[in-house]
Amino acid sequence: MICLIGGDNFCHHSMSRYETRLKSHRVKPEKLAFKASFPIIETHLTLVSLEVSMELEAVAKALKELGHPTRLCIYKEVVKAGYKGIAVGGVQEKLGIPASTLSHHISSLASAGLITQRREGRILFCVAEYECLDDVIDFLRAECCVNECQ
């Protein structure tokens, strides 16, 4: 992560999948490729707190989406399917959910980065993003029992 600070300019560019921000406005990473007329300062504390803040937001969104019983059941079916994924029709058949409701829940899971979709001909597949699942689990376990050691 790079932190650029100077005058009224303040922006963060993360090389991970987290958001890029310019003040409170979101900008595309290619827009950050400008010539700075101010000194570039790397601030470790700022970088860490920003990364934690963005990670916290991403984990909170994922947990929010998984907090709905129907979405959790859908996600479990997708995770069980492995890296090949599962056809949306297969999820609908297993869970008995109307297509429009299923589509809404799948969109919510996809917006949280928990699943992706791919099309093969006329069939739409859902695939679990295991890296996102690992990130959520790692976030929850990162400080497990740290207060016991003190």
pLDDT along the chain (150 residues), means of 10: 38 36 39 47 52 82 97 98 97 96 98 97 97 94 86
| Residue 148, in any domain of the structure | no
| Residue 50, in any domain of the structure | yes
Q: Looking at the chain, which runs of residues are DSSP E strands? A: 2-6, 9-13, 21-22, 25-26, 86-87, 115-120, 123-128
Range of the domain at 86: 65-136
| Residue 58, in any domain of the structure | yes
CATH number at residue 103: 1.10.10.10
| Residue 145, in any domain of the structure | no
Domain end residue (candidates: 39, 62, 85): 62
Domains held by the chain: number:
2
- What are 23's two structure tokens? 């003040």
Q: Give pLDDT, residue 29.
A: 46
Q: Cβ neighbours of residue 21 under 8 Å, at least 6 residues apart?
A: 11, 12, 27
For the chain, counts of helices (H) and of strands (E): 5, 7
Q: Give pLDDT, residue 141.
A: 93
Domain end residue (candidates: 10, 30, 62): 62
Q: Give pLDDT, residue 51.
A: 62
2: amino acid identity, one letter: I
Query: Residue 29 carries which DSSP code?
Result: G
Task: Quickly count: other Cβ atoms within 10 Å of residue 108's Cβ.
Answer: 19
